Amino acid sequence: MDMDIDPPVKTPHDPARPDASIDIAHSLDYWNGVSSDVNGMLGGYPQTSRIDLQGSSNFLTKLRRGKTQASKLPLPPLERVADCGAGIGRITKGLLMGVSKRVDVVEPVKKFTDELVQGLGEEKVGMGKVGEVVNLGLQDWVPEAGAYDVIWNQWCVGHLTDAQLVVYLRRCKEGLRKAAEGEETSISWVVVKENMSTDIRHKDIYDEEDSSVTRSDEKFRRLFQEAGLKIVATEQQRGMPKELYPVRIYALRPE
């Protein structure tokens, strides 16, 4: 029973603007109550982690090889990447440390990054090391300008409103490494990998449990455009259980 004399006024859910219901404090309460393991990160589907990481690894390799797709030569390590909304570092350890010398970790829930940092001594994970660990939500994180080869955002941008996401993606754009002298174009990307709305009218879906929205492909494309980013590659993740939302990955570059 609510004993407050003045209970907080709850904004009624507006079906026309699902993201207006996002409540950061509620999301953080939810995530602080979740176990610091892969099962907690993946909502009771830990078995999907392997296929997700494999799909991401293949996608990133294709992206990096570009036109020289046929080459079998190993790719050189990236210098610096960021894992955003990283949780316990499932992607940091399972993918990014294998391809980059340094992985910065951005995650608002400290118990998750504590778990990551404690585990690092025990296991040898790839060639890279964890750099900065930043306990902030993405709405508050400002990537260092020109610093990153890849800014990876997976299963977390649903915690930002549409307006916050556009502003955040603009900062990510500034955070990408610029072309070095002699390089025709820089090779750096913002990656977004998220669930897709299955609403028949392509509406975004609000989830009360963790206070997040699941956006449609159309909505993502519109927000990327507003942020001044273009899609250079995108594909649907294969092999996920049928009862889950479809998952799509996008690689983005400045327009």
Binding site for S-adenosyl-L-methionine: what residues are annotated? 85, 90, 138-139, 154
- β-pairing, 229-236 with 189-195? unpaired
Q: Are 151 and 81 in contact (CB under 8 A)?
A: yes
Angle between helices 217-226 and 162-175 (to 10 degrees): 50
Question: Minimum distance from CB of 116 to ligand SAM (Å)?
Answer: 10
Structure tokens at 70: 């046929």
Select from 84-92, 143-151, 174-182, 216-224 the region that touches ligand SAM (CB under 6 A).
84-92
* Cβ-contact 51, 43 below 8 angstroms: no
Report d(CA 146, CA 143) in Å as an integer: 9
Among residues 19, 21, 36, 41, the one that binds ligand SAM under rule CB under 6 A:
41
Binder to ligand SAM among 54, 135, 139, 186 (CB under 6 A)? 139
Angle at 69 between CA 66 and CA 75, to 5 degrees: 80
Minimum CB–partner distance for residue 41 and ligand SAM (Å) = 4
Given the rule CB under 6 A, which of 104-112, 116-124, 195-203, 239-247 is the region that contacts ligand SAM? 104-112
Q: Which stretch binds ligand SAM (CB under 6 A): 63-71, 97-105, 108-116, 124-132?
A: 108-116
Binding of residue 175 to ligand SAM (CB under 6 A): no
Give the contacts of 144 (CB within 8 A, at least 6 positions apart).
175
Query: For residues 44-73, which are near ligand SAM according to CB under 6 A?
Result: none
